[in-house]
Chain A
């Protein structure tokens, strides 16, 4: 694979040449995982996170494109869930803004469908969102077909205003409709912060069937047998949680990061470190400590929050403020932040004078 647009043409599902089982740790130099390839080919990689729909899906589109331009090698998009137990205050607030703006899974997938980025995209969301997708009485799956239909991304209910849950039992939850739709829109992977390996079988099988990576988180408390189990299931990359607690920008790199990377050094899978990374110097230190990539979320979300603090976060107001052409001040700042982080990462890899990564 080369550094061209890795997205399948026309949003067709990718061919999955991968079987249902993966080697525990590969000697393979080649990979059929977009996610793993993006990290290996752009080493050291910058992985960025923002919450979709904060402050609107339209602006998210501009922000993703800006991160892509700024050198992000993978982009995680948060699909907002009302109870984000793994997030600190920054991303909680972003999720609340996105929910207040009426962000729905349907609108999220429409956005992903429209996006054309060089960096593969992943969705980061909580398990209940995956379980419920397409699992309502209204035959939403058929409504997903393209064509004229009501825009639902304003949080409105079906035209008749009828409650779609709570009145009659629904079918049992199922992860497949979500994974199918994710593959269809060209997403490359899924990260689920409240899904430990013990509960991941149904989702992993669905992801394998559709050629998506299911990224697992390795915590500072993950050791011994648990570490073995998780590392044997890793696809894409191992998400190394830099410190205990929740997401959020911090002023330093935690010592737990170095210990975790040392524990993982024997495993031949890409390792990316997140939770608290906010500056180029952090990126440098983490790459120097042996990571293959850095994951940055809250520091980017902070930039978005600063720019939408003036407005109440409604789409129309923000467009009035910045225009909807993607040249928002936030987008420019995000692009600059991505460049700073990518430069930091490259510094950590000893590429002090390396030229800027060339993106279109």
Chain B
């Protein structure tokens, strides 16, 4: 079949090189077209002042702009200028609100009556519940049963904000099952409901839409570093799960060829895949994944030889996903973004080190970027920007548990507890 000129044009928009696209059931296609239309009108051309309202709300409700802080002890330790982009200071404690508030507001502009979202660790779920409460839209969050049991405080936060939390019992009861179930809901309720996807994943236009809402991270950081250091950084380092924090931090820097972009993935406990049990003891999709289709997009995946999606793992629940955003996969494929990974131990040390040296408790997700800084600072140039994607209070229980099992150099002595 020959495709017409306009089809080809749309193709190039739907994809990032070999990645992206819209691999979803037919029932969802009209909704994606409606969303594309809304994205072009409200986000790209600021129709009805949408972007103005979004920025105002992110300022007053969300607490933007966030600081770019010079980390004095880290700079001394690594003998270079280290700056931290403080997304941990966004309302709710992570960068997730940038996207959640943007999409809930967009849904209102589109006249949608109901919001649904998936969540893994609960960060995107809590951000969406906060945004929905703030904008007064009914909201339901799908969350795997395993995750609900692991993240009780986050579940309660969502309930306090008035969101329904729907347990998903299928499979291993984690993020990918929650996404499956949210897609099923959407296929049923598509005419009245908007699906607030939590990362730069999913079918077009989600990867672009989420990237654009998150790109405020890099836009601010780029201005702030010029102001503070008088020039662009040599490298920007950000942790990567699905990739919303990564794309948010990198997007504005992509045209700056002198700036190295480093995506730090969760190496978990090993980079191997155990095919027999369909397990990957890591979430290093960009480094070790292979091309395939998951959750509506052609991207890099952790999968078996037959194409079954394997269970990923990371000590950090927010990085624990077998896929990754298609645009990020493309930027890795073209060499613009360098994918690296650090293991659970390095992340736990990073978590303790930033807490101890700088008085900032980072999320376990962000701790991967800090773990990489410790391991490879020599390769990062004179000026380094590291994104602290969220705060780590949510992770203290996990960290206590994991630290007891290990001999971590950066962990404090906790003899203060009765043993």
Which A residues are within 8 Å of any B CB, using their own CB? Answer: 20-21, 81-86, 88, 92, 96, 99, 104-105, 126-129, 131-133, 136-138, 140, 155-157, 161, 163-167, 169-170, 172-173, 193-199, 201, 204-205, 216-223, 226, 230, 233, 241, 244-246
Q: Which of B176, B289, B305 contacts A83 (CB 8 A)?
A: B176
Question: Which residues of chain A are within 8 angstroms of B187 by Cβ–Cβ distance?
Answer: 85-86, 244-246
Confirm or deny: B304 has a beta carbon within 8 angstroms of a beta carbon on chain A.
yes
User: CA separation between A96 and B183, bound complex, in Å?
Assistant: 18
Chain B 119-157 residues near chain A, CB threshold 8 A? none
Proximity string of chain B (1-45) to chain A, C-beta cutoff 8 Å, 1 when within and 0 when not: 101000000000010001001111111011101000000000000
Chain B 162-213 residues near chain A, CB threshold 8 A? 170-171, 176, 180, 183-184, 187-191
Give the tally of cross-chain contacts (CB within 8 A).
164
9 contacts between A and B (CB under 8 A): A131-B292, A136-B306, A137-B305, A157-B275, A165-B304, A198-B29, A241-B26, A244-B27, A246-B184
Name the distance in Å between A301's Cβ and chain B's nearest Cβ.
16
A81/B25 contact (C-beta < 8 A), A201-B1, A244-B188, A246-B184 known = no
Q: Count of B residues near A, CB < 8 Å?
A: 52
Confirm or deny: B342 has a beta carbon within 8 angstroms of a beta carbon on chain A.
no
Q: Which 9 A-B residue pairs are closest in the complex by CB-CB distance?
A: A132-B307, A245-B188, A166-B273, A219-B27, A164-B305, A136-B305, A82-B308, A219-B26, A221-B30
Of all chain B residues, which has the CB nearest A22?
B1
A161/B30 contact (C-beta < 8 A), A132-B292, A132-B307, A245-B184 known = no
A167/B184 contact (C-beta < 8 A), A195-B23, A221-B30 known = no
Question: Which residues of chain B are within 8 angstroms of A21 by Cβ–Cβ distance?
Answer: 1
- In the complex, the answer to whether B275 meets A164 with C-beta atoms within 8 Å is yes
- In the complex, the answer to whether B272 meets A166 with C-beta atoms within 8 Å is yes
User: CA separation between A198 and B204, bound complex, in Å?
Assistant: 12
Of all chain A residues, which has the CB nearest B288?
A166
Question: Which residues of chain A are within 8 angstroms of B184 by Cβ–Cβ distance?
Answer: 85-86, 88, 245-246
User: CA separation between A92 and B169, bound complex, in Å?
Assistant: 12
User: CA separation between A245 and B189, bound complex, in Å?
Assistant: 7
Question: Which residues of chain A are within 8 angstroms of B271 by Cβ–Cβ distance?
Answer: 166
Question: Which residues of chain A are within 8 angstroms of B290 by Cβ–Cβ distance?
Answer: 165-166, 169-170
User: CA separation between A96 and B33, bound complex, in Å?
Assistant: 32
Q: Which of B24, B170, B273, B302 contacts A194 (CB 8 A)?
A: B24
Of all chain B residues, which has the CB nearest A99?
B308
User: CA separation between A222 and B187, bound complex, in Å?
Assistant: 12
- In the complex, the answer to whether B303 meets A226 with C-beta atoms within 8 Å is no
Name the distance in Å between B323's Cβ and chain A's nearest Cβ.
10
- In the complex, the answer to whether B190 meets A244 with C-beta atoms within 8 Å is yes
Of all chain B residues, which has the CB nearest A246?
B184
Of all chain A residues, which has the CB nearest B32?
A196
- In the complex, the answer to whether B1 meets A244 with C-beta atoms within 8 Å is no
Of all chain B residues, which has the CB nearest A204?
B1
Question: Which residues of chain B are within 8 angstroms of A233 by Cβ–Cβ distance?
Answer: 1
- In the complex, the answer to whether A104 meets B306 with C-beta atoms within 8 Å is yes
